[in-house]
Structures are given as structure tokens and as C-alpha cells.
Homo-oligomer: A and B are copies of this chain.
Amino acid sequence: MVDYEIFELGDIVLQSGQTLRAAKMAYKTYGTLSAAKDNVIVYPCWYSGTHVENEWLIGPGLALDPEKYFIIIPNMFGNGLSTSASNTPAPYNGSRFPKITAYDNVAQQHRLVTEKFGITTIKLVTGWSMGALQTYHWGAMYPDMVERILPFQGSAKCSRHNFVFLEGVRSALMCDAAFMDGFYTEQPQKGLRAAARVYAGWGLSQEFYRIEADIQKMGYASLEDFLVGFWEGWLLSKDANNLLTMLWTWQNGDISNNPLYGGDYKKALAGIKAKAVVMPASTDLYFPPADNAIEVEHMPNAKLHVVDTYWGHFAGGPGTSPDDIKILDIALKELLAS
């Protein structure tokens, strides 16, 4: 029993020159496509997450209201549902699973939207974190199709600092001998747990950790309880090679790295015609507002909306900070109404 559909993509030649054979994209839709096909929202996934972990933002009365909109969540390659190291047979399994860019992901999502549903106009693309990276790609790759974008706590290109943060996560995971260069027989527990502890400092802000109450409200008795239960629990629920696939996608994210823009970052940002609201969180440690401010300067139709919060990267994140999600929901409603 699965709650999602599969779109068969066939063999895909990727930007890396590798071929993703018999590729599949898992997706889920919410609501009904209108006869005019003019009520479409595309909502890509964040790092490691599946469509299920995107659902906190969807519901009657919310901006992403399935009673009004037809919402498509495409699962990223490597997230375990779409084609991933974990579901690919030899010889493309393990560490031989191809390298996939955000461009590759969005190009195939575009096929899903157009070939499967015959959609020509998208009302809104929105996403958190790596979902935001894909959101920017949608805007830059299909400027005449995408009317609005709202990327939150993400960026159009992986910054050098963000790249370094991810190097820490990657190195910790791969340090475990049980990883066996990607050909493990069981998940590398030590590596996943170490990577989770590395991630823990980045995901939430200094102030979040200073305020002890939130961890307790989330059901953790102590900091150590939180590190094990929340952070280690998160990465232990994932596959190591899948995490590394998506990490590579993230590190190499760049809206200009494609034939349309030939590596010209400013040109790619300028190419986004959509009305855009870019929402960083004031205390996000790897997507700091300053990076988004630079982007918005080069986007013709964009507004920067910094969310003042101590929740760091998790401001708009998966349901953990209701106050910040309220702000996000209002911004989504305003943008959709405009």
C-alpha cells in the first residue's frame, strides 16, 4: 500500500553524462486539476524528505488548500521513492549511482507536469530548503510557465559556506568503515549518527539552543535526548547512499549551470519572470538572509521577506515552529491572491 503514483521517465541522460535507466518519479497530488488547468501548485521536496514530509503546509483553509488548488509534490531523485541508490539494481547501485543535479530533477518534474497532466501554466512553485533550490530552477528554466515562486530558507545556488557545512556532514558519514565505500550490507550507524550530530548545530540557531523550553515542548528531556531522538533518529531513518546522492545535488545546485544560462548566475536570476517572494529566516545558519538579498537584487520581480525568528533553518520547516509557519502561510496566500 503506497500513497503515491509513479511516472515512468524511461532512460534519462543526466548533466553528468551518466544515464539514469528506467527512471521513475514518485509523486503525489492533492486536490483536483481544474478544467482550465489553471490552479496548479508545484511543491518540491527538501533534503531527505518525501512528499509525506511536505504535507505540513497543505490543508483546507491553508494557502496550499487542496479544495482550491491542484498541488503536485514530486519526489526528488535519491529520496528513496523516486529512482535512488536504494532502489536501483547493479551495476548502478551503491556509490555507482549517478550524480544528479537540481536541473536534472526539475527537467523531469517538468515532464511530469506537462506530459502526464498537460499543464502549461503553474500558479505557484514553492519549497523549503532544497525544495527552494528546485523552486528557483523552475522559475529560471520555465520563465513563461511559472507565474509565482516562493522559495523559503533556500538559495538559487549553493553558497561556498553552505558547501563547506555539507562537507562536514558528508565526511562524518563516510568516515565510518561500515560505509564500505557505499557497498554496505547494513546502514553505517556510526556514520549516520555522526553526520546527524554535525547537522544538529546547523539546523537550528544558537538562540534556539539557548532557549531550553522548545526542546522540552518537542518531547525531549535533555539536549542529549534531543540529539539522539530528533537528529540521530532523522538520519537513521534514511539510506546513506541516498543521503549522499541528495547532498551532491545540493552542493552542486546552481540555477545557471545549464545550457539556458551557461553559468551566468546573474543572467539566470534575471531570467526568472515569476513574481517572487524570497523568504529567508533571520537566524538560518546556512541560508543567511544576506545570500538571498544578493539574489533578489538580480531578480526583476522579487521581494525579500526576512522572517524574524530564532528557529534558524527550521523556521518554515516541517511543522516544528507553528508561529513561523503562520507567517509563511500568510505570505503564500498574499502571493497567490496577487
Closest to A226 in B: B164
Q: Which residues of B contact A165 (CB under 8 A)?
A: 201
Cβ proximity bits A132-165 to B, threshold 8 Å, 1 near / 0 not: 0000000000000000000000000001111111
| Interface size class of chain A, counting residues whose CB lies under 8 Å from the partner chain | 35 or more
In the complex, the answer to whether A201 meets B159 with C-beta atoms within 8 Å is: no
> In this complex, what residue of B is CB-closest to A285?
B285
CB neighbours of A159 from chain B (8 A): 206, 209-210
> How far is A13 from B129 in the complex, measured between Cα atoms in Å?
50
CB-CB under 8 A for A209 and B161, given A201-B202, A202-B201:
yes
A39-47, A171-179, A261-269: which one contacts chain B? A171-179
Q: Is A329 an interface residue, CB under 8 A from the partner?
A: no
CA–CA, A162 to B209, complex, Å? 9
- Interface residue from B197, B209, B212, B290 paired with A171 (Cβ < 8 Å): B197
Complex-state Cα separation, A212 to B163, whole angstroms: 13
* A201/B171 in contact, CB under 8 A: no
Q: Pick out which of these stretches binds chain B: A52-60, A82-90, A186-194.
A: A186-194
- Are B168 and A206 touching (Cβ within 8 A)? no
Q: Which of B161, B227, B288 contacts A167 (CB 8 A)?
A: B227
Task: Type the 1/0 row for A48-84, where 1 means its CB is closer than 8 Å to any CB of B.
Answer: 0000000000000000000000000000000000000
- Do B227 and A164 touch across chains, with their CB atoms under 8 A apart? yes
User: Of B160, B162, B171, B209, which one neighbours A198 at CB under 8 angstroms?
Assistant: B171
Most buried by B among A190, A201, A290: A201
Q: Is A223 an interface residue (CB 8 A)?
A: yes
A29 within 8 A of B: no
Q: Which of B168, B197, B206, B208 contacts A201 (CB 8 A)?
A: B168
Given A161-B209, A164-B209, A227-B167, A175 contacting B194 (CB threshold 8 A)? yes
Asked whether any CB of chain B lies closer than 8 Å to the CB of A200, the reply is yes
Does A205 count as interface, using CB distance less than 8 angstroms?
Answer: yes
Smallest distance from the beta carbon of A195 to chain B beta carbons, Å?
A: 8
Residue-wise interface mask of A (266-296) relative to B, using a CB-CB cutoff of 8 A (1 in contact, 0 not) = 0000000000000000000110101100000
The smallest C-beta distance from A229 to any residue of chain B, in angstroms, reads 14
Nearest CB of chain B from residue A266's CB, rounded to whole Å:
15
Choose one: B194, B197, B207; the contact of A290 (CB below 8 Å). Answer: B207
Instruction: Give 14 pairs: A residue, B residue, CB < 8 Å, sorted on A.
Output: A161-B206, A164-B200, A168-B197, A168-B201, A171-B194, A172-B175, A172-B198, A175-B176, A175-B191, A201-B202, A206-B285, A206-B286, A210-B291, A285-B285
Q: A171-B193, A176-B177, A194-B194 are in contact. List 18 more A-B contacts (CB 8 A).
A: A160-B223, A161-B201, A161-B209, A163-B223, A164-B197, A164-B200, A167-B200, A167-B201, A168-B194, A168-B197, A168-B201, A170-B197, A171-B197, A171-B198, A175-B194, A206-B285, A206-B291, A210-B290
